[in-house]
Chain A
């Protein structure tokens, strides 16, 4: 199954679009450890989707390890799953409802006490929009 599809996350519309914007490919896919018969996991690109910065050394280590793992996992392709329902949860459950009641929640100051950066009682982050 020759695929060179670029993995992309959907881009939700709305205010978070900058944060979640689909990013251009960082570099062409040229990795030499490419398995011809399987999809290729471009570590640097997928790490970027997962918002994890990697060093060049990590990219190299992970590329080999993840290629090994993926080629192992690809044995699943030999399994006939035609007509089989997927299992999302081992104990099937429908929507579970309860009364919508107010009740005590966590103390604001204690919650903010775990925050790495606070501004006037709110979580502070670097500017998103100029």
Chain B
């Protein structure tokens, strides 16, 4: 009994609570898996095995003293964008190399309160800007299903670690699809909660009106479990919403009879990989067989979503990233005067994609262009929100692909940022509208690359999304076995 790395959070939590293993056993096993396989996947940017083991031992001591918190001793991986006290937080950027976080993000505090221990820091596109985790100053993360392909992004390290059995689950962030798309590419479950569901305090800001923290997991039950821990009002984040936090696991009844699932005409258009479309349509058919009713809906402003997103997100980013100036933290490149110092620090500290977006964001906010771009985009954002309001009068949830393709080859889209942006067309609308979205694995292409089914719902209807995803997952045979990089784990799916 040593293959803890191939298990889910709820399985390991059960083993721990029944005394069938120790937290130290679990953490040791995961560290071994990481040391063996992460060289090929490169999911982690920072690992402190001694600290992780010390935390695991402390959890075991606490349990022996009667502590029975549900996730006591369960080790998780954390995207390198969330502050964890006394750990590095680089956001995949050179400019934060050597930075040590001074406090815990609220979601980290909540995880610790539930008993979770922390395994390490997971790679990402620099400042979460990217869709492939190729924009990291610390090297690209590779897809565990095919290491010649991208893991998706920006939470590519989180998705690759979970899919590659190098973390039981991970925490990521989603500004325009950064949890759902890598989850889809790597074959795991990812949840982007309603805006305001989870506190953003301690999340290094990319686009403050779009960012949300959420879990990446091996199955839907784990997603429900972790979402419940992460959710809730936080006085440190005035945009977090004071809504009751349901027991999300209670929503996993397997019963979706009578639910109306909307297929947006605009999300099934040309340009989509036929194999991806076939997998998603087959998954929707499974939902229909489970008693759901499938209806067609319209989201007529979808074609504008990428333009709106890349104006609003870059505008917010240009403001948020102004704090990286080499004065108070991070790297500094000396200059003749302060302006020269800041300019050179940002030249050498930021990677290409970050520079591109900060320049674009500065431009769309600048005098003479603000109304033509930023204000117009904010108005179009209203229309995108109304699209969803309209659609949800006709259906209970929307079902669609997560991305137009499965994982592409490393380097395939890197030279053409616009092509990379266009791949976000099916995920950015949920962030612009603030609604929750979920990605659940739904089969694979003939190359064996995972495909994700995206489920979107009205604000604060995460229970419904989880119920649908769980019903689909159960009806389609449970979670998939992990990729063959762990031959000893083949068929370990529950």
Select B378's contact among A8, A47, A87, beta carbons within 8 Å: A87
B148 contacts A by Cβ under 8 Å: no
Q: Is A51's CB under 8 angstroms from B100's CB?
A: no
- A35-56 residues with Cβ-Cβ distance < 8 A to B are 39, 41, 43, 46-55
Q: Mark B85-111, 1 if CB is under 8 A from A, else 0.
A: 000000000000001101100000000
Q: Is A86's CB under 8 angstroms from B372's CB?
A: no
Listed residue (A5, A49, A54, A69) with the most chain B CB atoms within 10 angstroms of its CB: A69
B161: A residues at CB distance < 8 A: none
Q: Is B346's CB under 8 angstroms from A85's CB?
A: no
Given contacts A52-B358, A126-B337, 20 further A-B contacts (CB under 8 A): A41-B359, A49-B362, A50-B362, A51-B339, A62-B359, A65-B356, A65-B417, A66-B360, A72-B418, A73-B310, A81-B376, A86-B381, A87-B382, A89-B209, A89-B239, A114-B329, A114-B330, A116-B330, A116-B332, A123-B327
Interface secondary structure of A, over-half rule: loop
Q: Mark B272-310, 1 if CB is under 8 A from A, else 0.
A: 000000000000000000000000000001011011101
Q: Is B339's CB under 8 angstroms from A81's CB?
A: no
Select A128's contact among B328, B334, B338, B434, beta carbons within 8 Å: B338
Select A114's contact among B100, B361, B380, beta carbons within 8 Å: B100
Q: Is B306's CB under 8 angstroms from A72's CB?
A: yes
Q: Is B307's CB under 8 angstroms from A72's CB?
A: yes
Q: Mark A63-104, 1 if CB is under 8 A from B, else 0.
A: 001101110111111010100111111110100101000000
CB-nearest residue of chain B to A90: B434
B263 contacts A by Cβ under 8 Å: no
B367 contacts A by Cβ under 8 Å: yes
B448 contacts A by Cβ under 8 Å: no
- A103-130 residues with Cβ-Cβ distance < 8 A to B are 106-107, 110-111, 113-117, 123, 125-128
B416: A residues at CB distance < 8 A: 65
5 CB-based A-B contacts, threshold 8 Å = A70-B360, A73-B311, A76-B311, A115-B329, A127-B337
CB-nearest residue of chain A to B195: A90
Select B346's contact among A8, A51, A65, A107, beta carbons within 8 Å: A51
B200 contacts A by Cβ under 8 Å: no
A6: B residues at CB distance < 8 A: 368
CA–CA, A5 and B346, complex, Å: 26
Q: Is A76's CB under 8 angstroms from B337's CB?
A: no
Q: Is A5's CB under 8 angstroms from B368's CB?
A: yes
B350: A residues at CB distance < 8 A: 52
Q: Is B380's CB under 8 angstroms from A91's CB?
A: no
Interface secondary structure of B, over-half rule: helix
B368: A residues at CB distance < 8 A: 3, 5-8
B383 CB to nearest chain A CB (Å): 6
CA–CA, A72 and B13, complex, Å: 49
CB-nearest residue of chain B to A73: B307
CB-nearest residue of chain A to B334: A126
B363 contacts A by Cβ under 8 Å: yes
Q: Is A86's CB under 8 angstroms from B195's CB?
A: no
B390: A residues at CB distance < 8 A: none
A10 contacts B by Cβ under 8 Å: yes
Q: A54-B355, A116-B329 are in contact. Are A91 and B459 (CB under 8 A)?
A: yes
A76 CB to nearest chain B CB (Å): 5
Q: Is A52's CB under 8 angstroms from B338's CB?
A: no
CB-nearest residue of chain A to B364: A73
Q: A54-B355, A90-B195 are in contact. Are A7 and B369 (CB under 8 A)?
A: yes
CA–CA, A125 and B367, complex, Å: 29
B375 contacts A by Cβ under 8 Å: yes
Q: A51-B325, A68-B418 are in contact. Are A114 and B235 (CB under 8 A)?
A: no
B385 contacts A by Cβ under 8 Å: yes
Select B100's contact among A61, A90, A96, A113, beta carbons within 8 Å: A113
Q: Mark B3-15, 1 if CB is under 8 A from A, else 0.
A: 0000000000000
Q: Is B375's CB under 8 angstroms from A86's CB?
A: yes
Q: Is A9's CB under 8 angstroms from B308's CB?
A: no
CA–CA, A62 and B372, complex, Å: 21
CA–CA, A50 and B103, complex, Å: 29
Q: Is A126's CB under 8 angstroms from B372's CB?
A: no
Listed residue (B241, B328, B366) with the most chain A CB atoms within 10 angstroms of its CB: B366
B195: A residues at CB distance < 8 A: 89-91
Q: Is A88's CB under 8 angstroms from B355's CB?
A: no
Select A90's contact among B99, B318, B421, B433, beta carbons within 8 Å: B433
